Structure 1
């Protein structure tokens, strides 16, 4: 991100939610984004993921400027290169775990049989062997969130974006899920970006960025400042 400013109103004098943000995230790293409510955390994530187009500045991914892309190209990018894990998991209640995890592949044209065969080993590595045919209502909160992690990994994304991935879980389950998320992303060679209010969640990541009033006010690697 270079010189990224974002306003939710188009007028140049409208207040900026993010202001002149410069940020580089190395491939394969895990980054937590922290800050008080209204600091711009979710807006930052949505800009990096191509959900929003910045008012000013550039956001480059593998040599491509997301700000210059059409909506259609950014949609394809989110489907092919990015994975997402949300606070509630957002699983489809009528589908079993293996089909929920395989959904991005099936939406991309892969047959159900091939897509499910691809995600079963991922589900097994996340501790869900024997639960692949269970529907979300038959899973605990931690198990359902691990299905969401498997879904995010299904397409072998370059980046996984997560917004409060443990916010709906108790502290011990959340810690276990977060450790599995970081380990799974690393095993698949994916970069991980985590928006969180929880310092324990941030502590699992290799780097923590703190926002305040739309600006980065701190940037610390695990063990010290960058």
Structure 2
């Protein structure tokens, strides 16, 4: 049954090429993500996990199957509507954040979009989230060397959450960080998602990172081959 409030994939396939040389990155994936749920997608390189994240987020089109967001098929949206969806209802955090200057420039777009939406609705500023350094918020790009990997990721998290999105998509957000900094980034990410009621879809190779999520799904050869729920996600243990 379709969840009209969450994100759902039904029989997703993604094929590159044709004939005997075709690559089946997704081979029929069914996945439902409830509002506020955090899901880690794991698997070996080439298993299809990043392709799945990109198709769920509307970045890549599926070859077949359906992605539903709050009861609407993403494939049935116009290009303009999908762009609006990614700007206002989806947020993104990637492996190495964004270079400092790009992060500072990019924050203005979603922030301005969120402010316009709040003015139209008459809302207040919304839930507090982890904030980037003041220079990033004010649009004054500091020298790139002044941003550590952890700071860049915290800026990326703040940018991703600034419009109160329903889902955050994170692709190896700690892949370029040491263990201690990765712990801090995952604590910031999961705390902020929970504060805003956003779902989290996370791709990772790291079991310790996956433990920050309430559910882990395992992929192999373009299929989900198993899943497990965390009795006590790392966030709960850390508190």
1:74 partner SS: helix
Among 122, 141, 162, the residue aligned to 2:129: 122
The TM-score with structure 2 as length reference comes to 0.80
Q: 109, 113, 137: which one pairs with 1:103? A: 109
Whether the aligned pair in 2 keeps the contact of 1:35 and 1:41 (CA below 8 Å) is yes
Return the alpha-carbon distance in structure 1 between the equivalents of residues 42 and 114 of structure 2.
37
SS at match of 1:160: strand
Displacement of 1:102: 3.8
TM-score, with structure 1 as normaliser? 0.84
Following the alignment from structure 1 to structure 2, what is the Cα–Cα distance between the partners of residues 142 and 44?
A: 26
Instruction: Give distance in 2, aligned partners of 1:85 and 1:198.
Output: 16
State the Cα deviation string for residues 41-80 of structure 1 (Å, max 9, x = none): 1100000000111111111001110122232221111011
Cα 1:142/1:17, change in 2 over 3 Å? same
Note the 1:134-173 alignment, pairs <5 A: 135=142, 136-173=144-181
Q: Name structure 2 gaps, 5 residues minimum.
A: 1-8, 120-124, 233-239
Unaligned runs of at least 5 residues, structure 1: none
C-alpha contact (below 8 Å) 2:136/2:155 kept by paired residues: no
Residue of structure 1 equivalent to 2:64: 56
Match of 2:53 among 25, 42, 45: 45
Deviation at 1:6, TM superposition (A): 0.9
SS of corresponding position for 1:58:
strand
Residue 191 of structure 1 aligns with which residue? 199
Residue 235 of structure 2 is matched in structure 1 by none
Give deviations 1:153-188, integer Å, cap 9, x for gaps: 001100000000011111110011111101110101
Instruction: Give the whole-Å Cα distance in 2 for the aligned partners of 1:6 and 1:95.
Output: 31
Separation in 1 of the partners of 2:103 and 2:58? 28
Change (3 A) 1:109 1:161: closer
Q: Could you tell me which residue of structure 2 aligns to residue 204 of structure 1?
A: 212
Matched, 1:70 2:78: yes
Higher mean C-alpha displacement, 146-155 vs 9-18:
9-18
